[in-house]
Structure 1
């Protein structure tokens, strides 16, 4: 058994041992998930990840990718996918966070297709890549803003949530404008969220943007101006 297989086995065993069958149905119902839950709350899951990732350090990028993809693609419980996302963000593998990971994250976004997966990847994986590699990631985000997949479009809208003064307003504007007519809740909520976050840094810019875009949905506007 190689390093990747050992880590995957340890993650699955840890989730099984730490699960609470009484909590699992409620967690699945809340998340509207087809995948069942083990019933491992977020704090316990995070602690398990810290423990297991420290005990099973991967020294090869291929093994790291294989671990992530096995946990993701072969997940029998939703927590396995949460652990896959956590593994992508472990500090030990920061040197492998390059534009070469974009197809991996794209697969996770498309196949995850729900806010609990997508929002973490968008803001904590795609966002940092965009800041570190703007020449490569910015064109990709422009493309994603008009992609048929709504979760890629949501990602293009919310990927700059933590950017503050470093926000690329041209990209933000373009991503929002490309989706103004979309009636999907998650797109409209994402637009409002992105604007609300940026309003903490540039309230006048957001106010002007809202005023100059009457096509924004009421939901997007309510979110955008919540703190103005």
Structure 2
């Protein structure tokens, strides 16, 4: 039995229709759910890793793609969990995969995890390779690529490329999209924990959406 089949069995045994309805509603009816809540899903993933030994093997992009193709949202969460557990093995060759995941079945719950973890990690380790890629995302017509470009440095703290962060924000400052305005505020709020003076000055000197200002000013 392959890894995908084993995980499907684990998840299907815990399918809960009573839970699935409110979970689907919480995600604005964008995706169907098996009804497996996060604590149980994490428990099942631990069992999956233990029984398959997959974390001791090379990273498997094909498995990630197979999970992404599954209908219920828990399978995408399983893919994200596997990616997060395999971050040391993720490298610049996997950037096209990350872009595909960002653009497919897109919503904040998957995109934000991809932004802060694999994309952020790859960008930090291979700046000369991925900078042109993320640079192209900033003005891409795809909303979630733009959000990723704004958020990928979220965990960088003192290693944040401030000029790049501010430039990406300004390229999207006029956006009417809620998720872009929110991302700008979130990015500024996180960076303000490292450099509050810079963020305060940036907000004061530029015209940003009220939502972005409110979110970004929380700690300044």
Normalised to the residue count of structure 1, the TM-score between the two structures is: 0.91
- Alignment partners' CA distance in 2, 1:131 and 1:90: 18
Deviation at 1:24, TM superposition (A): 0.6
**Superposed displacement of residue 71, structure 1:** 0.9
**2:121 aligned with 1:125:** no
Q: Does 1:89 align with 2:81?
A: no
Equivalent residue pairs, number: 218
Structure 2: segments with no counterpart, 5+ residues: none
Give me the whole-angstrom Cα distance separating, in 2, the residues matched to 1:76 and 1:113: 13
Residues 142 and 171, structure 1, Cα contact 8 Å, conserved in 2:
no
SS at match of 1:29: helix
1:38 aligns with 2:31: no
Q: Cα RMSD (Å) of the superposition?
A: 1.4
Ranges in structure 1 where 5+ consecutive residues have no aligned partner:
none
Q: Tell me which residue corresponds to 2:104.
A: 111
User: C-alpha distance in 1, partners of 2:92/2:161?
Assistant: 18
The structure 2 residue matched to 1:134, chosen from 99, 102, 127, is 127
The 1-side partners of 2:29 and 2:3 are apart by 25
What is the alpha-carbon distance in structure 2 between the residues aligned to residue 82 and residue 209 of structure 1?
35
In structure 2, how many angstroms separate the alpha carbons of the residues matched to 1:176 and 1:60?
36
- Displacement of 1:128 in angstroms is 1.1
Give the one of 6, 10, 14 matched to 1:10: 6
Equivalents in 1 of 2:204, 2:163: separation in Å?
17
* Aligned equivalent of 1:217: 209
The correspondence for 2:187, drawn from 161, 186, 194, is: 194
Q: How big is the shift at 1:60?
A: 4.6
